């Protein structure tokens, strides 16, 4: 039996019930068994003004400025420079309410920002249910007619660098057409044009580590095109349907490599891929249950020593000499 929750006539997602990420880094909140309308209503409310999270976000902004620009010519460790390098701020859609009815999933959003997300995740740690920063994201898994799945190995990102994942990203506050947002990211990030009619909603998940909500989609990609991309682009892999279960078992999340905590998968990318694999029949519900049990049993005890990437920046006092 699959562990996914059953769909009721009306379901309200409880945003305050977030599992401890040490034991459950990510989870599927709801799965789509048919096409659904997605209605997003955005309010002009901005989350976080005057809160501790806002103070931390402002501190991140200042620290990143001092690290990147180094206006006072301070000796900054190279690892701190590398951590700050991909950081930039910007507005993000923030989940306030989710209701799933018979044919419609309704989401109310406010506005947060990239730095508020980083600050909120760090601030609330194991108590993400108290975190009012809940970025809304989309993710699309592309698969071929044979059931092979196209994956990208991410670059030097702040969260989960050099990890496998599908195509997606955080939504901006004005992006209320979710399917269009998903299609635009596939075209902009991967250079692939997907027919809107082929885009299929598979469900919704949450990364408990950072309190990120994600709408999962899947779509077919031509086999020859997928082979070409995997063959010509160094950071892409095409995992054959017959090898997917073994590939997953070889890359539990997280794992220790050369004494360091490593994340072979972007958490939401892996969760969305499992949903798609079951949908297209590459993995059975029992396969997925086995994979998740295997992953859970291999969650390293060192995961309890995980530190949020931004903690390295916040923990270093970048000296500012008096003018």
**More confident position, 301 or 17:** 17
For residue 225, give every residue at least 6 positions away whose Cβ sits within 8 Å of its Cβ, in sequence order, or none: 192
Token pair for residue 303?
């995961």
Query: In this structure, is residue 3 part of a structural domain?
Result: no
Please compute the mean of the pLDDT values over residues 72-77 and round it to a whole number. 84
C-beta separation of 70 from 321 below 8 A: no
Decide if 6 is inside a domain. Answer: no
Average pLDDT over the chain reads: 88
Start-to-end Cα distance in the chain: 66
Question: Which residue from 308, 317, 315, 305 is spatially nearest to 121, judged by alpha carbons?
Answer: 308
Q: How much of the chain exceeds pLDDT 90, in percent? A: 59
In a domain, 322, yes or no: no
Cα–Cα dist 308/315, whole Å = 11
* Residue 178 confidence (pLDDT) above 50: yes
* CB of 117 closer than 8 Å to CB of 209: no
Position 34 in a domain:
yes
Residue 1, in any domain of the structure: no
Mean pLDDT of 113-138: 94
Highest mean pLDDT among 4-8, 53-57, 229-233, 284-288: 229-233
Task: Give per-residue pLDDT as tens, 241-277.
Answer: 999 999 988 887 877 766 677 788 999 999 999 999 9
Helix 52-69 and helix 114-124, axial crossing angle in degrees, nearest 10: 120
Lowest mean pLDDT among 220-224, 242-246, 257-261, 289-293: 257-261
pLDDT of 223 higher than 90: yes
Closest CA relative to residue 60, chosen from 87, 99, 98, 81: 87
Q: Is the pTM of this model over 0.85?
A: yes
Angle between helices 285-297 and 267-280 (to 10 degrees): 160
Helices (H), 70-157: 78-84, 114-124
The per-residue pLDDT for 1 is: 45
More confident residue, 139 or 65: 139
CATH code of the domain in which 284 resides = 3.90.79.10
pLDDT computed for residue 322 by the predictor: 41
Q: How confident is the model at residue 72 (pLDDT cuts 50, 70, 90)?
A: confident
Sign of the dihedral defined by the CA atoms of residues 79, 85, 88, 93, in that order: negative
Number of domains within the chain: 1
Percentage with pLDDT > 70 across the chain: 90
Measure CA 244 to chain center: 20
**Strand ranges in the chain using DSSP code E only, listed in sequence order:** 11-12, 26-31, 37-46, 91-100, 104-113, 136-143, 149-153, 164-165, 167-170, 200-207, 212-220, 236-239, 255-257, 260-262
**Backbone region of residue 175 per phi and psi (left: phi > 0; alpha: psi in -120 to 50; beta: other values):** beta
Contact 206, 18 (CB under 8 A): yes
Structural domain range at position 228: 11-314
Q: How confident is the model at residue 214 (pLDDT cuts 50, 70, 90)?
A: very high
Secondary structure of residue 221 in the 3-state scheme: coil
The verdict on residue 210 lying in a domain is yes
Residue 127, in any domain of the structure: yes
| 48 or 70: which leads in pLDDT | 70
Checking if the pLDDT of 53 tops 80, the result is: yes
Residue 145 lies in a domain: yes
Q: What is the pLDDT of residue 8?
A: 55
């Amino acid at each position: 039996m699959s562990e996914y929750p059953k769909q009721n006539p009306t379901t309200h997602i409880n945003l305050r019930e977030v599992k401890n990420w040490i034991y459950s880094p990510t989870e599927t909140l709801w799965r789509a068994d048919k096409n659904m309308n997605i209605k997003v209503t955005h309010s002009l409310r901005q989350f976080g003004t005057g809160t501790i999270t806002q103070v931390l976000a402002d501190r991140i902004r200042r620290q990143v400025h001092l690290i990147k620009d180094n206006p006072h010519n301070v000796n900054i460790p190279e690892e701190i420079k590398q951590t700050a390098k991909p950081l930039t701020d910007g507005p993000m859609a923030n989940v306030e309410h989710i209701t799933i009815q018979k044919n419609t999933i309704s989401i109310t959003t406010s506005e947060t920002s990239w730095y508020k997300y980083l600050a909120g995740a760090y601030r609330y740690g194991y108590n993400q249910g108290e975190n009012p920063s809940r970025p809304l994201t989309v993710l699309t898994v592309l698969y071929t007619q044979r059931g092979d799945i196209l994956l990208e190995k991410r670059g030097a990102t702040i969260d989960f660098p050099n990890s496998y994942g599908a195509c997606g990203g955080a939504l901006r506050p004005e992006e209320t057409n979710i399917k269009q947002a998903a299609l635009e990211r596939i075209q902009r990030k991967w250079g692939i044009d997907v027919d809107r009619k082929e885009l299929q909603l598979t469900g919704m998940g949450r990364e408990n580590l950072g309190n990120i909500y994600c709408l999962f989609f899947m779509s077919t990609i031509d086999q020859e095109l997928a082979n070409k991309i995997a063959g010509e682009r160094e950071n892409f892999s095409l995992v054959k349907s017959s090898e997917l279960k073994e590939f997953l078992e070889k890359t539990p999340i997280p794992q220790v490599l050369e004494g360091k905590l490593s994340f072979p998968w972007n958490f939401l990318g892996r969760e969305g891929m499992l949903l798609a694999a079951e949908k297209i029949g590459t993995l059975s519900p029992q396969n997925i249950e086995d994979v998740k049990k295997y992953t859970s049993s291999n969650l390293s005890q060192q995961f309890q020593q995980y530190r949020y990437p931004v903690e390295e920046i916040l923990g270093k006092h970048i000296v500012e000499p008096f003018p």
